[in-house]
A and B are shown apart, each in its own frame.
Chain A
Amino acid sequence: MRFSALKRDERAGYEGHIVPASSLLEVAKALRDEDGFDLLSSVTAVDYLTDNEEEESFFEVVYHLYKSTGGGAEVLRVQVPRENPVVPSLVELYPGADFQEREAWDLMGIKFEGHPDLRRILMWEGFAGHPLRKDWKEVYFEEEAKPFGNRWPGGQVYRVEDQNPYGKNNQYPDGFDPESWVETEDPLLYENLEKAAREYTEDIDTEQVVVNLGPQHPSTHGVFRMAVRLDGETIVALKPVMGYLHRNHEKIGERNTYIMNMPFTDRLDYLASMSNNFGYALAVEKLMGDKVAPPERAEYLRVIMAELTRISNHLWAIGFLLNDLGAFFTPALYAIEERELILDIFEATAGSRMMCNYFRFGGVARDLPAGILPRMKDLVNERLPRKIDELDLYLSENELVRSRGEGVGIITPEDAIAFSATGPVLRASGVPYDIRRADPYSIYDRFKFDVAVRYHGDVYDRYMIRVDEMRQSLRILKQALKDLPEGEILTGHNPYQVRVPAGEAYGRVEGPKGELGYYIVSNGKPSPWRYHVRAPSFINLTILEKMCVGQKVADVVVNLGSIDIVLGEVDR
């Protein structure tokens, strides 16, 4: 490497380079400008807390950088002491680091120097402590890792909640006086909103109003909130507020054993549970090595399920985007009708409509039941192509869809990459970046399909790209169903007692919403030391403010709908 400051990470099972905090900006800039690592995929932090006197405890901030032209990752790590951890912020170089750094501040307590708006993002201002630190204990804490001793046969089963004097999931610091407490979450938000607005309209002298859309708002696809500052109908500043569905996925995941996390991943992006399973299985398989390479039939089943998921997700996204456009529920009803048929297949195969919990390390949980294959073939070869054509015919040339969509919420390709957008949002801006092609996983390199790409980067193209992608998914499905081999579906080990060697892995898949990554650090114990989800919906939202400022308030709803978020994944 050119930089003397860079040090290869030599711990077993780790890759990438360790950078001193002082030269992070310089190294990142060179990587971006000279080596082409322009897509900052994931920023997260790990708490290496140790009881061992001889070793030192520290925080490590991990950056995964990719090239938007494809290829593997460059991993940068910055190690900082646990007392007063400060790391320079990458927001200037990679605006896509914005929310991720705020998340690391919120949950891990790492200060990012130079970050323009370093507030808590998932919890609220004023919350006591940084929950993902290893020495922070939640209220219902029992033991460091599951399975808990008292749940074993012969153990004394008791409930931690019964021992809490409040009878609720609450705890307060010593000496806390509830009556003198003042909430600071909203005042801080409005202050920042005003700051952003003043920069935008220095010389216009009109009164601006603040409007809150959400968290309970029919357009926000869940419990998402946008604080919007309006000048007339024009948006001058927008701040997304999230965390209303922060279910502590990562903290719970670090107490669970590896396989216990599989059903939890279902509940991340609950419209695409199979893809979530896929990413997690890939990450753990990467750590475990070749002994869990899935058999041929399992690989095919994985691809089939992932692509069916993509279709059902895009159907939903299109239906509800039209809902946001004002075509209230009729297109959604047609889309849901087809989605139900795909859910039937999931239910027959995995046992549940939505929460499939289907993947295992080294294969899948169940084989296809008798009689389902002809139905799948019929669906993929006959019904879905016809229905997607129908949807396309009715909607794509519709006058209202075109006039509400064309030229609205434009994202340039440069912006899309800089803001770490992935998935349909990135590809609708003219960047043909699809992990299935850029960094192939599973058996995607065997199938013929095109990476769908559109070039205008507006709402209309983000709608069209989903239609295109459904057609490409159908192409993959047709090939996969034709070639589906017979045989085993799971390598011959016990999937419930996995031994994961120490090390780290970043497994990523092209989910329906973008790059879904799982960053896992193992220390050889039955549960992961660090379990982080790089959620595409969450990171795609970083660009929302930029998309919306200067447009009318009615377009905010459509812009948000065209990103296609799911709050389970945004807040995790």
Chain B
Amino acid sequence: MTEINASPNMNSSGYEMPPEMRQNIAITTLDKIWNMGRRYSVWPMMFGLACCAIEMICTAASRYDLARFGMEVMRPSPRQSDLMIVSGTVTKKMIPQIVRLYNQMPEPKYVLAMGACASGGGPFKEGYNVVSGVDKYIPVDVYVPGCPPTPQALLHGLMKLQEKIDSESITSVRWYQKEAIEAIPVPILGPDIIDPRDFPTIKSLTQGKPAAAEPAAETA
């Protein structure tokens, strides 16, 4: 080590240090240390929907070993998890539960849409019970393409999530702001799935102009 009161030096704090501590001090920003703790302890929710869940389990299992990223602690309870891996087709019957689970997760929380179905409906998009992408209801941080994505692809997605976490700052992330975060309204199982946020649109279309209620039957 150089002398303590020398010109600014990345390896020196600029303060008087007892000699025995000089090798043991690192200087960093609060953001960095905060994000480092967060990125290596992302606990995913143990929550599988469809085929992708099998690849998610394989990612956590023998060959691919998710533990390398500190993410092997799968929590069955949303209260203890940081990351929701939406692994599979999101159906209309399931979306109220997914939104409810998302609301129950404590901040900070992240969502990873795994596979084609969760990202945009995938091969089943045209189905009458299929939600065309989970992002129609809850915010998604990382999309992983594939049908199903291989474990390598999921790992890549998780590394992208780590990069995203790295770029956060505790002064600007939404969960440290003064305003309360509104819960996402839970969809209702009606004649079709009803998003409470759509109430005005639905009313204007089904009651005002009955003829416009079946837009899908039109062809261009």
Contact call A248/B54, Cβ cutoff below 8 A: no
* B119 interface contact, C-beta 8 A: no
Q: Bound complex: CA of A164 vs CA of B54, how far in Å?
A: 33
Contact call B190/A138, Cβ cutoff below 8 A: no
Contacts A168-B131, A172-B206, A173-B191 given; indicate if A163 touches B62 (C-beta within 8 A): no
A246 proximity list for chain B (CB < 8 A): 91, 93, 129
* A496 interface contact, C-beta 8 A: no
Q: Chain B residue with minimal CB distance to A264? A: B123
Q: Bound complex: CA of A264 vs CA of B92, how far in Å?
A: 19
Q: Bound complex: CA of A161 vs CA of B150, how far in Å?
A: 28
B131 proximity list for chain A (CB < 8 A): 168-169
Least Cβ distance of A392 to chain B in Å? 19
Contact call B76/A337, Cβ cutoff below 8 A: no
Interface-side segment among B2-10, B14-22, B196-204: B196-204
A334 proximity list for chain B (CB < 8 A): 62
* A177 interface contact, C-beta 8 A: yes
* B125 interface contact, C-beta 8 A: yes
Contact call A222/B49, Cβ cutoff below 8 A: yes
Contact call B124/A247, Cβ cutoff below 8 A: yes
* A374 interface contact, C-beta 8 A: no
One of B88, B129, B201, B213 near A174 (C-beta < 8 A): B213
* B170 interface contact, C-beta 8 A: no
Contact call A222/B130, Cβ cutoff below 8 A: no
Contact call B188/A169, Cβ cutoff below 8 A: no
Q: Chain A residue with minimal CB distance to B211? A: A174
* A137 interface contact, C-beta 8 A: yes
Q: Bound complex: CA of A329 vs CA of B128, how far in Å?
A: 36
Interface centre among B47, B192, B201, B213 (most CB of A within 10 A): B192
Least Cβ distance of B175 to chain A in Å? 23
One of A138, A161, A167, A271 near B128 (C-beta < 8 A): A138
Please report the total number of B residues contacting A with Cβ < 8 Å: 65
* B184 interface contact, C-beta 8 A: no
* A165 interface contact, C-beta 8 A: yes
Q: Chain A residue with minimal CB distance to B63? A: A340
Least Cβ distance of A359 to chain B in Å? 18
Contact call B62/A340, Cβ cutoff below 8 A: yes
* A565 interface contact, C-beta 8 A: no
For window 483-501 of A, CB contacts with B under 8 Å fall at none
* B183 interface contact, C-beta 8 A: no
* A124 interface contact, C-beta 8 A: yes
* B138 interface contact, C-beta 8 A: no
Least Cβ distance of B82 to chain A in Å? 16
Contact call B61/A336, Cβ cutoff below 8 A: yes
* B36 interface contact, C-beta 8 A: no
Q: Bound complex: CA of A173 vs CA of B214, how far in Å?
A: 8
One of B97, B125, B190, B210 near A140 (C-beta < 8 A): B125
* B165 interface contact, C-beta 8 A: no
For window 189-234 of A, CB contacts with B under 8 Å fall at 215-218, 222-223
Type the 1/0 row for A237-252, where 1 means its CB is closer than 8 Å to any CB of B. Answer: 0000001111110011
Contact call B215/A163, Cβ cutoff below 8 A: yes
Least Cβ distance of B88 to chain A in Å? 7
Count contacts between A and B, CB distance < 8 Å: 207
Contacts A247-B129, A332-B61 given; indicate if A355 touches B216 (C-beta within 8 A): no
Type the 1/0 row for B24-49, where 1 means its CB is closer than 8 Å to any CB of A. Answer: 00000000000000000000001111
A337 proximity list for chain B (CB < 8 A): 61-63
Contact call B191/A164, Cβ cutoff below 8 A: no
* A179 interface contact, C-beta 8 A: yes
Contact call B213/A173, Cβ cutoff below 8 A: yes
* A75 interface contact, C-beta 8 A: no
Contact call B192/A172, Cβ cutoff below 8 A: yes
* B145 interface contact, C-beta 8 A: no
Q: Chain A residue with minimal CB distance to B49? A: A223
Contact call A176/B202, Cβ cutoff below 8 A: yes
Contact call B54/A140, Cβ cutoff below 8 A: no
* A414 interface contact, C-beta 8 A: no
Contact call B126/A252, Cβ cutoff below 8 A: yes
One of B55, B63, B130, B196 near A169 (C-beta < 8 A): B130
Contacts A245-B94, A336-B58, A355-B147 given; indicate if A267 touches B210 (C-beta within 8 A): no
Contact call A176/B89, Cβ cutoff below 8 A: no
B148 proximity list for chain A (CB < 8 A): 270, 354-355
Least Cβ distance of B104 to chain A in Å? 10
Contacts A124-B189, A169-B121 given; indicate if A267 touches B207 (C-beta within 8 A): no
Least Cβ distance of A124 to chain B in Å? 5
Q: Bound complex: CA of A193 vs CA of B135, how far in Å?
A: 35
Q: Bound complex: CA of A267 vs CA of B122, how far in Å?
A: 12
B194 proximity list for chain A (CB < 8 A): 170, 172, 178, 181
* A158 interface contact, C-beta 8 A: yes
Q: Bound complex: CA of A567 vs CA of B219, how far in Å?
A: 35
Q: Bound complex: CA of A567 vs CA of B53, how far in Å?
A: 11
Least Cβ distance of A194 to chain B in Å? 21
* A128 interface contact, C-beta 8 A: yes
A217 proximity list for chain B (CB < 8 A): 76
Least Cβ distance of B85 to chain A in Å? 13
* B174 interface contact, C-beta 8 A: no
For window 62-97 of B, CB contacts with A under 8 Å fall at 62-63, 76, 88-89, 91-94, 97
For window 523-567 of A, CB contacts with B under 8 Å fall at 567
Contact call A252/B127, Cβ cutoff below 8 A: yes
Contact call A163/B220, Cβ cutoff below 8 A: yes
B53 proximity list for chain A (CB < 8 A): 222
Q: Bound complex: CA of A185 vs CA of B96, how far in Å?
A: 13
Known: A122-B129, A138-B126, A355-B51. 18 other contacts (CB 8 A): A131-B128, A137-B216, A163-B218, A164-B215, A166-B198, A167-B136, A168-B131, A169-B125, A169-B128, A169-B130, A178-B198, A181-B190, A183-B189, A222-B48, A223-B49, A245-B50, A270-B51, A354-B54
A-B contacts, 26 of them at CB < 8 A, read A139-B128, A140-B126, A143-B219, A161-B132, A163-B216, A164-B216, A165-B205, A166-B202, A168-B193, A169-B132, A170-B195, A172-B192, A172-B206, A176-B202, A178-B203, A181-B188, A181-B190, A218-B76, A223-B49, A243-B91, A243-B129, A245-B49, A247-B130, A255-B126, A270-B148, A355-B51
